[in-house]
């Protein structure tokens, strides 16, 4: 990364996407072909998806 701020922001807001971005640069040599893009979409869905899911609240 050119600036230390980008990894910090990525770690706070999009940690799975940051890990996948780093993995693509390490494992795929930074080439964004079909499978790295699929992984990017999945990691974005994980990061931006709802945290709690669709749980039914329990009544007491």
CA geometry: angle 49, 55, 47, nearest 5 deg:
15
Instruction: Share the mean pLDDT of the chain.
Output: 86
Q: Which of 3, 12, 5 is nearest to 47 (CA)?
A: 12
Q: Give the pair of three-digit tokens for residue 39.
A: 């992984």
Helix 34-48 / helix 15-27 crossing angle, nearest 10 deg: 160
Q: What is the pLDDT of residue 2?
A: 79
Where does the pLDDT of residue 10 fall: very low under 50, low under 70, confident under 90, or very high at 90 and above?
confident
% the chain with pLDDT above 70: 83
Global pTM value: 0.73
């Amino acid at each position: 990364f050119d600036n230390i701020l980008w990894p910090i922001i990525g770690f706070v807001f999009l940690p799975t996407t940051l890990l996948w971005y780093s993995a693509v640069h390490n494992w795929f040599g930074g080439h964004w072909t079909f499978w790295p893009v699929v992984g990017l979409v999945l990691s974005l869905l994980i990061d931006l998806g709802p945290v709690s899911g669709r749980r039914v609240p329990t009544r007491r």
